[in-house]
Amino acid sequence: MKPKAYSYIRMSTDVQLKGDSLRRQSEESRRYADENDLDLVEDFRLEDIGVSAFHGKNVAQGALGEFLVLCEQQIIQAGSYLIVESLDRISRQNPQVATSLFLQILGAGINIVTLTDRHVYRAGSSDFTDIIVSVVIMSRAYEESRTKSLRVGAAWENKRRNIHDKKLTQVAPIWLKLSADRTAFETVPERVAVLRWIFDEADQGKGSLQISRALNQQGVPTFAPSKGWYESYISKVLTNRAVLGEFQPHRYIDGKRVRYGEPIPNYFPAIVTRERFERIQVGRAVRRVRGAGRKGQNNINLFQGVATCGYCSARMMIVNKGAGPKGGVYLRCDRARRSADCGASGWPLDHFEGAFLWFVEELDIGAIVQGAASEEARKALEGQAATISADLETQKKIRERAFDLLGEPTSATAFVRGKIDDASMKIDELERKLASIKEATMIAAASQKRPLDEVRLMIKEIGGWQTADGDSRSRVADWIKRNVKELLLFTDGLDQSDQVAADAKLRQFSVALAGGEFRTVQISGNDPTVASYSVHANDDKWVLTQDGERSIHR
């Protein structure tokens, strides 16, 4: 039988795959096997693409390491051939490690063939010259890799030091371009205008799909050749920290593009403030967890992912029964809708929306809908809170990593403890700032006072499942998702008896807000602004309103 031959191909980056290297090495191995009467095993792919030999990952984690294990288990027979382009394909580690690996392969009874010079390093050979030659070749490969690594690193560090005199690279976000002297990036005005509009829409609570639809409907040109705007692209834009002016350098390690060093602030022209950016990230995170609601122009569910059944804790859904005496649009428990262990009836959507918007006084409808100065002030506070929360999360991660390092026997304990103490101090300071911002937000919300007739008009304008202004509903839905921790609906009141007439049901809802407020309201009759009783509580005050009287806070 012909001896078996295995072709080993290693490439440090997948960029080489775009060229002719993989085909060329494969054909050379096949040609060598045919010329030397070897049986080339082609159904066993011995390839390490994008795996470094400088760090030895091709042995520790790659295909070459698996090959060695099979040799030790004698699954690959002694006397077989390992065909490589050159010895530096096997290892680029320091000479001692590389030579040990070379001898390990030969010691397993495997002959090594190098295609560049067609030399055969034979297992069991006593030719000392082969060992010397292999050491020289692999030493040179190690020094080349080491020198290249040092030069690349030094070049980048030099560029970083001179960053204000000359930019690191001409690569920039598509809304910017590098100046002729390479000292600054200039904005592309028409693209920046579109970019800011995208962030404005996102700040109003609109999702990526809504924004992409609007851009396509308006015929806004895309930044790059494309068949219209895509939701995924809008999401990338909204999460790209380059809009803050940050630049995150990268470098290729083991064929993969990874972050290199800390982000460089003020590298690009800032397009949006950090407060707005972080506030939008919070809103996007909330919508991911609670859902973004229906995507129709105006059919936006204000309570998507927020409202739950007070009897069984299932989610409340929109149910449209169409026209007719028994028709209409309702909020209904999903389990009850499916007749699954819950008998709760539906709550007419416009009736519940009216009650919620009327009694939840922290929601200043007018400011949100009209974009009043007070609404801008609220958003500014939310932006500050989002920024502090992001910094707080960063410091907590730093502290957690430092705690993990304490378990490492080689860690500098004093240094790590210093990092923990520093992060803990910053966390305490940030938590105090965050508490102060939240208190200011509560005070600002409590200070909003509008005439009752104006409030009724706003509720009427924001209501209307299919007729209201979609932008207004989006903004209100965004506020609810951000600020409502829990919303329970008791659609049949606390008495679910079938004998209770529908128009006599004492429907009830309870809402807990992120600021610490809690409210329970019981509605009787068809007027959503009239309550049998209303209980409002916060950390230090309770207010009970009965017999349809309004709360003193309005």
Q: What is the pLDDT of residue 358?
A: 84
Q: What is the pLDDT of residue 222?
A: 92
Statement: residue 231 has pLDDT above 80: yes
Q: What is the pLDDT of residue 310?
A: 93
Statement: residue 14 has pLDDT above 60: no
Q: Give tens-digit pLDDT for 459-473.
A: 666 655 444 455 677
Q: Give tens-digit pLDDT for 197-212.
A: 999 989 887 888 889 9
Q: Give tens-digit pLDDT for 138-154.
A: 666 555 655 555 455 55
Using CA atoms, how far apart are residues 508 and 488, in angstroms rounded to an integer? 8
Statement: residue 372 has pLDDT above 60: no
Statement: residue 316 has pLDDT above 80: yes
Q: What average pLDDT score do residues 168-190 get?
A: 83
Q: Give the DSSP per-residue string, 328-391.
A: -EEEEEHHHHTTSS-----EEHHHHHHHHHHH-TTS-HHHHHHT-HHHHHHHHHHHHHHHHHHH
Average predicted confidence (pLDDT) for the chain: 77
Statement: residue 23 has pLDDT above 80: no
3-state secondary structure 199-226: HHHHHCCCCHHHHHHHHHHCCCCCCCCC
Q: Give tens-digit pLDDT for 430-485.
A: 888 888 887 776 666 555 555 556 666 666 666 554 444 556 777 788 888 888 98
Q: What average pLDDT score do residues 337-354 get?
A: 89
Q: Which residues contact residue 460 at a Cβ distance below 8 angstroms, ignoring those fewer than 6 apart?
A: none
Confidence of residue 312 (pLDDT cuts 50, 70, 90): very high
**Which residue has better confidence, 447 or 337?**
337
Q: What is the pLDDT of residue 335?
A: 92
Q: Give the DSSP per-residue string, 396-429.
A: HHHHHHHHHHTTSTTS-HHHHHHHHHHHHHHHHH
Task: Describe the crossing of helices 274-290 and 231-239 by its angle, rounded to 10 degrees.
Answer: 130
Confidence of residue 103 (pLDDT cuts 50, 70, 90): confident
Confidence of residue 234 (pLDDT cuts 50, 70, 90): very high
| Range among 41-55, 112-126, 494-508 rated most confident | 112-126
Q: What is the pLDDT of residue 382?
A: 80
The answer to whether residues 203 and 371 touch, using CB atoms and an 8 Å cutoff, is no
Lowest mean pLDDT among 240-244, 282-286, 288-292: 288-292
CA angle 295/296/300 to nearest 5° reads 75
**Which residue has better confidence, 270 or 182?**
270
Residue 453 phi, psi (nearest 5): -65, -35
**Which residue has better confidence, 18 or 408?**
408
Q: What is the pLDDT of residue 551?
A: 41
Q: Which amino acid belongs to residue 172?
A: A
**Which residue has better confidence, 405 or 533?**
533
Statement: residue 353 has pLDDT above 80: yes
Q: What average pLDDT score do residues 124-144 get?
A: 65
Q: Give tens-digit pLDDT for 526-545.
A: 888 888 888 877 654 555 55
Q: Give tens-digit pLDDT for 53-88.
A: 555 666 766 788 888 888 888 889 899 999 988 877
CA atoms within 13 A on the CB side of 453: 0
Q: What is the pLDDT of residue 80?
A: 93
- DSSP run (H or E) holding 467: none
Statement: residue 516 has pLDDT above 80: no
Statement: residue 550 has pLDDT above 50: no
Q: What is the pLDDT of residue 171?
A: 73
Q: Which residues contact residue 423 at a Cβ distance below 8 angstroms, ignoring those fewer than 6 apart?
A: 395, 396, 398, 399, 402
Q: What is the pLDDT of residue 296?
A: 44
Lowest mean pLDDT among 195-204, 247-256, 369-378, 541-550: 541-550
Using CA atoms, how far apart are residues 202 and 212, in angstroms rounded to an integer? 11
pLDDT above 70 as % of the chain: 68
